Amino acid sequence: MRPSWAFQNRQDAGRKLAEVLEQGPTPSDNIVVLALPRGGVPVAYEIAIRLAAPLDVLVVRKIGLPGQDEFAIGAMAPDGILLMNESLLRALGVPGPAIEKVIEAEQHELVRREALYRGNRPALSLQGREIILVDDGMATGFTMRAAVQTLRRHSPAHIRVAVPVASKEACRDIEQLADELICLHTPDPFRAVGLWYRHFDQTSDAEVRRLLSAK
């Protein structure tokens, strides 16, 4: 059963995550908070404020099943990272050209969103930094896996994934990739991220840009 609204909204989730993060190792000037947009940005903003750390985005795109966009079959991130659920693709018998078309469209969207969110600001240097990688939740964990893999190419000192709620399966996968995972709730059965928020309206591009500019 679902508890009585684990979180009021993404801001509430971010504040609760920040409380846990503050209890860990002493925050340092070496921390960078990275958000997976769009939903991860309001969560990460609260953490960045609490820890007095810089905030940036890591744009990762879910690869949806052709004709059923919300059904994740993979994910992509910058630096050419592409993860696909090959066993699922074989089971579903999805034609290669259809997948390639979706991948091409998502690649264009990834580039567009990076330019839209960051504007003229350069990406933060991540080499040797303590990274806190944030999203509003993980269902399959595909997008987070892609994010962690692309971060590894930038040689950070430590990658800590922080999410308010996630499936147990996604947590197991991320624990194998990240240096540390903080997840406040792992409900079973999981069903969907949005069920654990009282208010789970879609985060707009304008809100993402406003929060990044404010920080």
Instruction: Using CB atoms within 10 Å of the CB of residue 114, give its burial: 0 to 12 exposed, 13 to 18 middle, 19+ buried.
Output: middle
Question: Which pLDDT tens digit goes with each residue over 77-99?
Answer: 888 889 888 888 788 787 888 88
| Phi, psi angle pair for 7, to nearest 5° | -140, 140
Indicate the pLDDT class of residue 26, thresholds 50, 70 and 90: low
Q: Which pLDDT score, from 0 to 100, does residue 4 have?
A: 59
How far apart (Å, rounded) are the C-alpha atoms in residues 204 and 76? 21
Helix (H, G, I), strand (E, B) or coil at 46: helix
Question: Which pLDDT tens digit goes with each residue over 96-143?
Answer: 888 899 899 999 999 999 999 988 888 889 999 999 999 999 998 989
Sheet holding 55-57, edge to edge: 55-57, 31-35, 130-134, 158-165, 180-185
Are 132 and 153 spatial neighbours (Cβ–Cβ below 8 Å)? no
| Phi, psi angle pair for 167, to nearest 5° | -75, 155
Q: Which pLDDT score, from 0 to 100, does residue 25 have?
A: 66
From residue 103, alpha-carbon distances to 44, 50, 148 in Å are: 27, 37, 19
What are the domain boundaries of the chain?
Answer: 10-59+123-214, 62-116
Indicate the pLDDT class of residue 10, thresholds 50, 70 and 90: very high
In the chain, the percentage of residues whose pLDDT exceeds 70 is 97
When pLDDT is averaged across residues 187-192 and rounded to a whole number, the result is 88
Q: Which pLDDT score, from 0 to 100, does residue 1 have?
A: 47
Residue 9 predicted with pLDDT over 80: yes
Nearest to 43 by CA among 70, 10, 65: 10
Are 33 and 52 spatial neighbours (Cβ–Cβ below 8 Å)? no
Domain 10-59+123-214 classification at class level? alpha beta
In the numeric block, which tokens belong to residue 99? Answer: 């997948």
Residue 72 predicted with pLDDT over 60: yes
Is 0.85 topped by the overall pTM?
yes
Mean of per-residue pLDDT scores for the chain: 90
Residue 8 predicted with pLDDT over 90: yes
